Amino acid sequence: MLQRTEPVLDTLVLQQEDLSPLSGHYEPCQGGEADSLTFEYSGEGESLEIEDVGRGEAYDGPIDYSSFCDDDSGAFASSLVALPRDKELLLFWRGVNADLASDGGDLKKLAEASSDDLHEEEELLDYRTLSALSLGDSHHVWVRTVDNLETGQRFEIYEFDFTRGILLAGLSVELPSSPTAENEAFSVATAFDNRIAAQLESLSADVQAP
C-alpha cells in the first residue's frame, strides 16, 4: 500500500472541486510550504500526554500539499497528506489526536504555537475544540477566531488533523465569521476525507486483486 500510495499523493490532497460548499472564487494560492508543529510528550504509541508544542522543520517523509485562496474575501483552504515513515509514527499521530481531543489544557499550547502564522495586524480572540465523530480513524478538530485590527474583519480558522488508514492528513479552512462558517468548513473536511477514503479503498482493492 505504501508503494502504491506515494506516487498518487497529489490526487489525495484537497482539489478545487472539493470547495463547492464555499461561496467565492478559489484559485491555487501563491507561496511555499509551511513548517510543521512539534510535540514534546510523555508516554508512547497511542497513549501520549503532550507537554509542549512548538514549531519545527517541515516533514521530511512523502508528503503533498494543496492550497486555494479567494482574493475577494481573504478566505483560503489548504491541505496536506503524508505517509508515515513507519508504524510507530502513525501510532504517534493517533496518540496526538486522541490527547488533544480529550484534554482542553493542551489546546492552549497548540493555539499559542499556531499563532505564529498570524500576520502582525491579526489578533487571536478565542479558540475551542470541536466534535467530528465521523472524520478519519482518529482526529482532532479546533477553531480559532481572529480579528484583523486594520480592516475590522473577523475570521474563523478551522483546523482538521486526522489519520485515515495509513495516511496522515491535515486541513485548514479560514472563512469570514458567519453563522454558516462552521458548516461550510466541515463540508469541505468531509469532501477531503471522502476523497482519501475512496482512493485508499481503490488502492486496497488493487493490492488484493489476484
**Measured torsion, CA atoms of residues 76, 66, 22, 167, in degrees rounded to the nearest 10:** -120
| Residue in the block written with cell 485515515 | 164
Q: Check residue 46 and give its pLDDT.
A: 52
Pairing of strands 75-82, 122-130: unpaired
- Cell for 15? 482539489
| Residue in the block written with cell 521530511 | 60
Q: Cα–chain-centroid distance for residue 71?
A: 21
Q: State the residue range of the domain holding 102.
A: 2-208
Q: Check residue 124 and give its pLDDT.
A: 92
- In sign, the C-alpha dihedral spanning 183, 188, 191, 195 is negative
Residue 76 three-state SS: strand
Number of domains in the chain: 1
Q: How many helices (H) and strands (E) does the chain have?
A: 5, 9
Instruction: Answer whether 0.95 is exceeded by the pTM.
Output: no
From first to last of its 210 residues, what are the pLDDT tens digits of the chain?
778 888 899 999 999 999 999 988 999 997 655 556 555 555 555 555 555 555 555 677 788 989 999 999 989 999 989 998 888 888 888 887 887 777 655 788 778 777 777 888 889 999 999 987 788 888 889 999 999 998 899 999 999 999 999 999 999 999 999 999 999 999 999 999 999 999 999 887 766 655
22/31 Cα distance (integer angstroms): 22
Residue 131 three-state SS: coil
CATH number for 9: 3.40.1000
Structural contact between residues 162 and 184, judged by C-beta atoms closer than 8 angstroms: no
Residue 210 burial (CB count, 10 A): 2
